[in-house]
């Protein structure tokens, strides 16, 4: 029987427009921890969801920033680089395919890899914005002081990071659905599909009868929404897909 990898490789080759949903499993080969896997950081201390919330930021922004920088290891962020999974998606673009990436990851590595259409569903660690005046600052400014402030004249407000905190609205869902609607093929990589509303996107694709494939080390609650399901190491599977080209 022809393997799921071979079948998926054929569909990737045939597709002109591909939507890709990615999660933490895509970035682990770059040295970035998987926060939600069985051994992920979030499971070490469930209170981190409380601390990484809009409510806690508003209540105690100074302590929020101390915990935020520790949890997301901001000092190490610039040491991370795209890995061969990110580069595989860029190579699809270089072959003339239209690729839209909808990512849960906040590390910015898809953009760093060179992909042109990246929807950062949960925001990005690389910037922070002043809630008072709307001025956006790069990571370099965020790291200049323990609690970063706006330096615009007459402002001085504490900055808010440009990631989606618990309690924040998701503003990219409609854009993500539009990318899926236009695609010939949906690929889902390295995500457990446990977080809502992100995990509604494969359902949306399924309802539109989009051909779809899932690559994840562990089973997900939504495996039955996919035409091709591969439970294996993502990096090794990507290498197998490339060999099938």
* Per-residue pLDDT tens digits for 74-113: 666 778 899 999 999 999 999 999 999 999 999 999 999 9
Q: In what order do the strands lie in the sheet with 118-120?
A: 118-120, 98-103, 17-22, 185-189, 211-216, 228-231
Among 110, 117, 122, 231, the active-site one is: 122
Q: Is 155 annotated as a binding residue?
A: yes
Q: Using CB atoms within 10 Å of the CB of residue 215, give its burial: 0 to 12 exposed, 13 to 18 middle, 19+ buried.
A: buried
Q: What integer pLDDT is reported at residue 38 of this predicted model?
A: 41
C-beta separation of 137 from 194 below 8 A: no
- Residue 149 annotated in active site: no
Is the four-CA dihedral 125, 130, 135, 139 of positive or negative sign? Answer: negative
For 127-168, how does the pLDDT look when each residue is reduced to its tens digit (9 = 90+)?
A: 999 999 999 999 999 999 999 999 999 999 999 999 999 999
Mean pLDDT of 204-222: 90
Annotated binding residue 136: no
Q: Known binder of ligand: residue 107? A: yes
Q: Domains of the chain by range and CATH?
A: 1-32+82-122+169-245 (3.40.50.1220), 37-79+124-163 (3.30.1600.10)
């Amino acid at each position: 029987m022809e393997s799921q990898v071979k079948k998926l490789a054929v569909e990737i080759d045939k597709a002109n427009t591909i939507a890709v949903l990615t999660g933490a499993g895509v970035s682990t080969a770059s040295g970035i921890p998987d926060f939600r896997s069985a051994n992920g950081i979030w499971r070490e201390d469930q209170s981190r969801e409380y601390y990484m919330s809009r409510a806690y930021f508003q209540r105690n922004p100074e302590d929020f920033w101390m915990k935020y920088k520790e949890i997301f290891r901001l000092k190490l962020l610039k040491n991370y680089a795209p890995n061969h999974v990110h580069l595989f998606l860029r190579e699809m673009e270089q072959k003339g395919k239209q690729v839209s990436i909808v990512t849960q990851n906040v590390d910015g590595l898809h953009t760093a890899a060179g992909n042109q259409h990246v929807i950062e569903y949960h925001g990005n660690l690389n910037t922070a914005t002043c809630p008072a005046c709307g001025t956006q600052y790069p990571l370099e400014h965020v790291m200049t002081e323990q609690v970063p402030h706006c330096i615009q004249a007459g402002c001085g407000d504490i900055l808010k990071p440009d990631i989606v905190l618990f309690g924040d609205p998701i503003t990219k869902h409609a854009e993500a659905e539009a990318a899926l609607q236009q695609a010939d093929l949906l690929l889902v990589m390295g995500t457990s599909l446990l977080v809502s509303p992100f995990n509604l996107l494969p359902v949306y694709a399924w309802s539109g009868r989009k051909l779809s494939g899932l690559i994840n080390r562990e089973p997900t609650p939504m495996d039955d929404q996919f035409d091709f399901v591969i439970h294996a190491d993502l990096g090794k599977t990507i290498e197998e897909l490339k060999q099938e080209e």
